[in-house]
Amino acid sequence: MVLSELAVRLNCAEYKNWVKAGHCLLLLRGCLHGFVGREAFMPRGLADKTGPEECDAVALLSLINSCDHFLVDRKKVTELIKCRNEIMHSSEMKVSSMWLRDFQRKIQNFLNEFKNIPEIVTVYSRVEELLTSDWAVHIPEEDQRDGCEYEAGVYLSQSQVNEIEMELLKEKLQEIYLQATEQEVLPEEIANRLEVVKEFLRNNEDLRNGLTEDMQKLDSLHLQHQKRDSKEPRAQTLQGKA
């Protein structure tokens, strides 16, 4: 059942593109941890983090963009931050193949700024391999391996793909939570985004079970906002009568 759900998801080209792009950002985050210092500021919602190893890709990119210590083309950083935000704000968790090609160009342009760092060179190669290959998904017989495979033969197990999806979805839910907390987005828009994620998870039990706590946290916050908003008109009415 779990593998069949994975197969359905990855047989949707635009969702697979979304996962690929997100996976690239996870790879980027991993290599950025190696040379981003602890001394710089922590972006919104991350003040409780003890160091860069606990931050997501956009936090580390923002760090690089704002710190004079890093001699880098700021435009390339800004373009990559924009791509990351487009991934996280994609309501249906889908991006087109054209978007993915543009993303590949931008992330590789950014990585080229640090081509003297071995870890970055390694990630550059992995990103290129990931974005220029297709994941062949199949439901195996009993003795076959499950998961997905690059055309070039690089193998990812079902659990590895699932872990990537889970991490991306957790980051997406955290983004929605921050936007709701700081009231950057109208409550109606938050409700719509939540409903899209809920519908997606209803159809994908293998992912839903690992995100229960995150969804409850968001639902609770959204309910608080709804109660507060419903009280405000009543309070205004009472003030008017007084």
- Burial (Cβ within 10 Å: 0-12, 13-18, ≥19) of residue 180: buried
What does the pLDDT read at residue 189?
Answer: 82
Q: What's the pLDDT tens digit per position in 98-118? A: 999 999 999 999 888 888 888
CA distance 117 to 194: 40
Lookup: tokens for 68: 């004079």
Q: What's the pLDDT tens digit per position in 125-180? A: 889 888 887 775 555 554 444 455 554 445 677 888 889 999 999 988 888 888 77
SS3 helix, strand, coil % of the chain, rounded to 5?
Answer: 65, 5, 30
Which pLDDT band, with edges at 50, 70 and 90, does 97 fall under? very high
* Extents of the domains making up the chain: 2-228
Q: What's the pLDDT tens digit per position in 182-232? A: 777 777 888 888 888 888 998 898 898 888 888 888 878 767 766 666 655
Taking residue 12's Cβ as centre, other Cβ atoms within 10 Å add up to 14
Strand partners, 147: 138
More confident residue, 52 or 214: 214
Lookup: tokens for 180: 């709701």
The residue behind tokens 């950057």 is: 184
> At 200, is the secondary structure helix, strand, or coil?
helix
User: Is the full-model pTM beyond 0.85?
Assistant: no
